[in-house]
Amino acid sequence: MEISIGCDHAGFELKELIKNKLSELGYETTDHGAHSADSVDYPEFAHAVAADISSGKIELGVLICGSGNGISMTANKHANVRAALCWTPEIAELARWHNDANVLALPARFITQEKGIEILEKFIKTNFEGGRHERRVNKINY
């Protein structure tokens, strides 16, 4: 499976760590940047990852910025993108299990790198439960 990934300058270091972890786990990544810790505008990277997901080209995405808010808000403007801002593994699990989240948004300035990896692993290893949750998820797109 391939995972689309993007970040702003605040998320650059965590993005690089996550890319390495995904590679270790056997995943390919499409890296939309940022490619350094130099200041950039997060919407560019959020739109690129969200386009991969919205088009169906790639199933899952990871976005990282300082708070996780701006990058997830931007991604959620795209049809069929369900970006979830997660700061614990438990929230990541519920985002996938109950909400069928397909983009993980991480707040680089508020979690440790170790916690970021834990959250990522829980997110990619959890499947959507479906059932009563599917009816609700189907009501998200307007």
Cβ atoms of residues 68 and 106 within 8 Å: yes
Residue 123 vs residues 51, 85, 139: alpha-carbon distances, Å: 20, 11, 22
Residue 138 vs residues 40, 82, 127: alpha-carbon distances, Å: 34, 11, 16
Catalytic residue status for 98:
yes
Report how far residue 79's alpha carbon sits from residue 5's, in angstroms, rounded to the nearest whole number: 18
Which of 35, 78, 86, 98 is labelled catalytic? Answer: 98
Residue 116 vs residues 27, 80, 137, 138: alpha-carbon distances, Å: 17, 24, 25, 29
Cβ atoms of residues 46 and 63 within 8 Å: yes
Catalytic residue status for 7:
no
Report how far residue 78's alpha carbon sits from residue 44's, in angstroms, rounded to the nearest whole number: 13
Which of 65, 78, 86, 133 is labelled catalytic? Answer: 65
> Catalytic residues, which ones?
65, 98
